Chains A and B, each alone.
Chain A
């Protein structure tokens, strides 16, 4: 158990819909990262937040957005969903600040778009 929690575990929705994925980082961690992993594929970095502020942006679509709240939990919003958005979405956390730190990954949310 990494200490990172993600809800829900599974999500099934239809094309065109909007969903919100939730992540709570490990106690004491200030940084949250979001990743997309399609079936048998690598980890695509989407976005990073540090202490409520956006820190780095990866290959995040305009239909996707995220935020980190004052209590440090984070939400990833996916809208106008397409079949190709079906994937495993991981959240990871680290202590944050300057410098590469080890990331602790949550169990993931499996999104299925039908």
Chain B
């Protein structure tokens, strides 16, 4: 079946440092979505990537879809305490939106 890994599982950074999490699939994907879940909260949609090699930016967050559409990354520049939470990728195998799996998540801690 479809397998999605996220690395690292945990990351502790000092405020102001950069952070990157990777989402890797064993199969070619049609789309990738990223979600953020604050401690005690619910997942919140961040972005969707569709095209090979696509790069999207949201303020300090940069999202990239790999050329082979098997992996994606989320990079945060100059982390802030508000970035604390778990970042999940959701990997879609087709364009119908029914064949997907969430990655296990990367938990980010930011030390002030």
Contacts and interface: CB of A to CB of B under 8 A. Distances in A.
B37 to A, nearest CB: 8
Interface of A: 2, 35, 41-45, 48, 55-56, 90, 92, 94, 98-108
B88 A100 contact: no
B103 interface: yes
12 contacts: A2-B44, A42-B88, A42-B102, A42-B105, A90-B42, A92-B43, A98-B97, A100-B48, A100-B90, A102-B48, A105-B42, A105-B44
Contact of A102 (B33, B98, B105): B33
Given A48-B98, A55-B98, A99-B95, A43 B45 contact: no
Contacts of B99: 56
Contacts of A92: 43
